[in-house]
Structure 1
Amino acid sequence: MLTLQTVADLLQAPLQGDPHLLGLPVQALCTDSRRLQPGSVFVALRGERFDGHDFIPQALSKGAVAVISQRPVEGPHFQVPDTLTAYQRIARAWREQFSIPVVAITGSAGKTTTKEMLAAALSRYGSVLKSEANHNNDIGVAQTLLRLQPEHQFAVLEMAMRGPGEIRRLAQMARPTHALITHIGTAHIGRLGSREAIAAAKCELLQELGQGIAVLNGEDPLLLATAASLWSGKTLTYGLAQGDLRGEWDPQAQTVTVEGLTLPVPLPGRHHALNWMGVLAAVRSLGLNWERLQEPLDLPLPLEGRNRHLKLAGDVEIWDETYNASPEAMIAALHLLAQTAGKRRWAILGPMRELGEHAPQLYAEVGRAAASLRLERVWLLDPDGEMQPLVDEKPAAEVERFEEASALVEGLQQQVRAGDRLLFKAARAVELERVLHRFLQAWQG
């Protein structure tokens, strides 16, 4: 249990305001005054659009026993140079009290899905703590670690990054025993400059792995080469075509057969089968067998915009992938659409972000992938014309570009009919989900 004295020792900061409280227990560390419970320590984090210091009076009035702040305040408080660093220091110290396996997952695509599948798989063997929602950054990983309790037997953490050094800092805080890297793609390539730089940033996880085990996608040559240059410890690779652990995927039965054992894949599509192989490899690396995975997993309901499959009245099906998009994820989604039985397959796509000078080449790659799949229609919400390289590859029998979301919605309302299968996918900032919502409202009356 944390006490205010423990916090003072970790932060090397005296409790100001009322030092007689040092013996009090700390019920929790809270960064959101709206959710604060009495007995908590409130951490006044600062962000681009908020400053937790503005909510210190509210936190104290709701029963906070102390505050961690960057300036003197009324009431019991620890003053520190940086509240985020202080928060992470406490999270690391809390994590170090537990000797359970901690699996950290990163990669350009598939992190969240793999995290959910691995957490569901490990729940067959014991109690699991997992990252919730998108708690995969410097604040979210700390929040997750601080939820560790004695009953947990495994922890599964998702780690994201937008630049060099971020994964390393997260790993230094979380001290993982196992690292799972799903894929090196082109997400954030406009920010980092090259796939090689992305690979180096993701593989920072391995540099903080100590005596742990690396679980790597054996179908990703750049990942393997980068990992080999940084890591010489225990490694297990996986894949459908290559890897130490190799599975035979049956898309019709939605299974993989590995070492003679046939196991259900929780989600359709080759990309999900590959991620499932990563889960199986992680389970193996933990010294567990797969016997308990022969029954389908109980995954949480898909988050809006992620792997969501909607079946509408009138025999219309929709793949909702509006949460985000990288070139590799968009191509994988197009393959999933092509494998979906129906009369006409429509891809409704929007721009991707942070591609930088690589954008024309990457849009062209998506266009070529679509063309090879012989889709019936590709419709684009593309106000600025940045997706023209995709159009130039003639990605479908019919291609249409819309500058306004309202025109796209109207077109869908007029032309979608029974038997159609639709995919919606774009970068989060495009807000393609608004088009989907308006279409659903019209279709469902």
Structure 2
Amino acid sequence: MIPMSLAEIAAAVDGRISETADPEAIVTGGIEYDSRKVGPGGLFLALPGEQVDGHDFAAKAAAQGAVATIASREIDSAAIYVDDALRAVAALARTVARRSAATVIGVTGSNGKTSTKDLVGQLCASLGPTVATEGNFNNELGHPYTVCRVGPATRYLVLELAARGLGHITELCEIAPPDIGVVLNVGISHLDGFGSIETTAQAKSELPRFLAPEGTAILNADDPRVARMAESTRAQVITFGIRSGADIAAADVEPGDGRHRFTLRTPDGEASVELRLWGGHHVYNALAAAAVAWRLGASPDHIAERLSEAGRQSERRMDVFTLPDGTTVIDDSYNANPASMGAAIRTLGQLPTAGRRIAVLGLMGDLEEQSTECHRRVGEQASEAGIDELIAVGDGTQPIISGADGVAATTHVPDQTAAIELLRKRLRPGDTVLVKGSRHRTWDVADHLRAKEDNDQ
């Protein structure tokens, strides 16, 4: 964190300094809500919880070197007292962002936010000290927590901007106003919060609309809803795409073994990219990241080299590994919506395999009245991709089976335990298996396969 005295922090969060704290003491470390991570010069954020109350660990944090604790009830160690700890960390993040000279890059979209943010973070790190959202820690705690990690030397701050309703992205932008805003796509997701794809587009457009005239909006030219956002932003617009005449484009795209190759085209020249990431959807993610790096002054050769070196940084996202018996596992189980499910199924269909292609698919959540049709379409996509066997897991996934007429073997199972038992019986050496579903709905299946990898070594 940018060094600040307790008096400055108290003013930023509208808090009261305890009598046991020194207002002139300087916080030089980071802010942490996990007392185990607090170090000398740090600031501890005590969050009340249903099972664990952070206030109970304030003394431990102090013993580990915390200068003070942001607290909402009385504690024995040095404290800054506030009414609401989450509001306090957001207010502190605003102050950190104002004091920082870092270029702020915001990434949003219905699909691919985390993977693209990871690519942008790796490219930016090749240009200077970078702070980026960890995993998809992008909620009301994770966003300001990430901003507060910015230090005096930070040149780039890469933030994943998620929303479940209108106004959410604007609220995040107000904490750390982006200089560069990336919109990847608009798809069917979180309909419980948005209600329709049109409302989703309106929510995602909050990012380019927020940008100042001197800012830059990076927009997917191949997504009509995103491309139209150029009309509503005051910022400079840079486009990326494959099918259109975009500023940053991919030509001669080849699937390879599932890790795609393409020629990166920029206004400054061309360079060859060979991705280490699995799946064709990463071509768009890579183009978005390339557009950011090009905007920051990187050459096409530098961008292509770094994209070709970039790896997966977040768990359960297109994590491809091979078991000792030659079975290949695609763990894309972190989350799912119609677009990401389709992308994962296409990847399974493209991967070379000595055996069968098997898809273990869980429910896609938050689809409301469109759930049946969206799940039926998943079955159709499995048929189109040449999947050999499909296992649909849990209630609500029956339409996947009804749509999968072209799949030779289809089975609906009630839960993950049943899916694991079925895999034990049917999985053969050389098969390739995809595991995907909305949060937690296929995690046990993926973990079972990963444990098999570890146990069979």
Q: TM-score, normalised by structure 2?
A: 0.89
* Cα distance in 1 between the residues matched to 2:54 and 2:7: 23
183-192 or 228-237, which deviates more: 228-237
- Where does 1:8-407 land on structure 2 (aligned, <5 Å)? 8-18=10-20, 21-28=22-29, 29-46=31-48, 50-210=52-212, 211-225=214-228, 227-228=229-230, 230-242=232-244, 243-248=246-251, 249-252=253-256, 254-259=260-265, 260-295=270-305, 297-300=308-311, 302-342=313-353, 343-382=355-394, 384=395, 386-393=396-403, 394=405, 396-407=407-418
Identity %: 30
* 8 Å contact from structure 2 (residues 327, 432) kept in 1: yes
* Cα distance in 2 between the residues matched to 1:391 and 1:96: 53
* 8 Å contact from structure 1 (residues 168, 207) kept in 2: no
What CA RMSD, in Å, does the superposition of the two structures yield over aligned residues? 2.4
The secondary structure found in structure 1 opposite 2:329 is strand
* 8 Å contact from structure 2 (residues 118, 313) kept in 1: no
> How far is the alpha carbon of 1:148 from its aligned partner?
1.5
* 8 Å contact from structure 1 (residues 412, 439) kept in 2: no
> How far is the alpha carbon of 1:169 from its aligned partner?
1.5
The letter of the residue matching 2:24 is G
Deviations 1:224-265 (A, max 9, x none): 33x246323211111111233221212128322133422222
> How far is the alpha carbon of 1:77 from its aligned partner?
3.1
The secondary structure found in structure 1 opposite 2:26 is coil
Aligned CA distance change for structure 1 residues 4 and 169 (closer, same or farther; 3 Å): same
The letter of the residue matching 2:338 is P
* Cα distance in 1 between the residues matched to 2:135 and 2:165: 21
* Cα distance in 1 between the residues matched to 2:140 and 2:452: 41
* Cα distance in 2 between the residues matched to 1:172 and 1:48: 29
The letter of the residue matching 1:258 is L
Deviations 1:355-383 (A, max 9, x none): 1111012112212222222211111112x
Aligned CA distance change for structure 1 residues 49 and 114 (closer, same or farther; 3 Å): farther
* Cα distance in 2 between the residues matched to 1:295 and 1:328: 28
* 8 Å contact from structure 1 (residues 191, 356) kept in 2: no
Aligned CA distance change for structure 1 residues 46 and 220 (closer, same or farther; 3 Å): farther
Q: TM-score, normalised by structure 1?
A: 0.91
* Cα distance in 2 between the residues matched to 1:293 and 1:229: 28
> How far is the alpha carbon of 1:328 from its aligned partner?
0.7
Aligned to 2:436: 425
List gaps (5 residues or longer) in structure 1.
none
> How far is the alpha carbon of 1:123 from its aligned partner?
2.6
44-53 or 107-116, which deviates more: 44-53
231-240 or 53-62, which deviates more: 53-62
The letter of the residue matching 2:344 is A
Aligned CA distance change for structure 1 residues 374 and 119 (closer, same or farther; 3 Å): same
> How far is the alpha carbon of 1:200 from its aligned partner?
1.8
* 8 Å contact from structure 2 (residues 7, 24) kept in 1: yes
> How far is the alpha carbon of 1:214 from its aligned partner?
0.7
The secondary structure found in structure 1 opposite 2:70 is strand
* Cα distance in 1 between the residues matched to 2:408 and 2:154: 53
* Cα distance in 1 between the residues matched to 2:450 and 2:81: 51
269-278 or 287-296, which deviates more: 287-296
87-96 or 270-279, which deviates more: 87-96
The secondary structure found in structure 1 opposite 2:118 is helix
The secondary structure found in structure 2 opposite 1:328 is helix
The secondary structure found in structure 1 opposite 2:218 is strand
> How far is the alpha carbon of 1:275 from its aligned partner?
0.9
* 8 Å contact from structure 2 (residues 109, 184) kept in 1: yes
Deviations 1:260-284 (A, max 9, x none): 4222223132200111111111112
> How many correspondences in the alignment?
440
Deviations 1:180-219 (A, max 9, x none): 1112122211232111112222222223322310111112
* Cα distance in 2 between the residues matched to 1:99 and 1:189: 37
The letter of the residue matching 1:250 is E
Aligned CA distance change for structure 1 residues 118 and 63 (closer, same or farther; 3 Å): closer
327-336 or 227-236, which deviates more: 227-236
Aligned CA distance change for structure 1 residues 56 and 163 (closer, same or farther; 3 Å): farther
> How far is the alpha carbon of 1:15 from its aligned partner?
1.9
* 8 Å contact from structure 1 (residues 214, 233) kept in 2: yes
5-14 or 95-104, which deviates more: 5-14
The letter of the residue matching 1:397 is A
* 8 Å contact from structure 1 (residues 319, 422) kept in 2: yes
* 8 Å contact from structure 1 (residues 17, 74) kept in 2: no
The letter of the residue matching 1:408 is A
* 8 Å contact from structure 1 (residues 120, 298) kept in 2: no
Aligned CA distance change for structure 1 residues 123 and 11 (closer, same or farther; 3 Å): closer
> How far is the alpha carbon of 1:48 from its aligned partner?
6.2
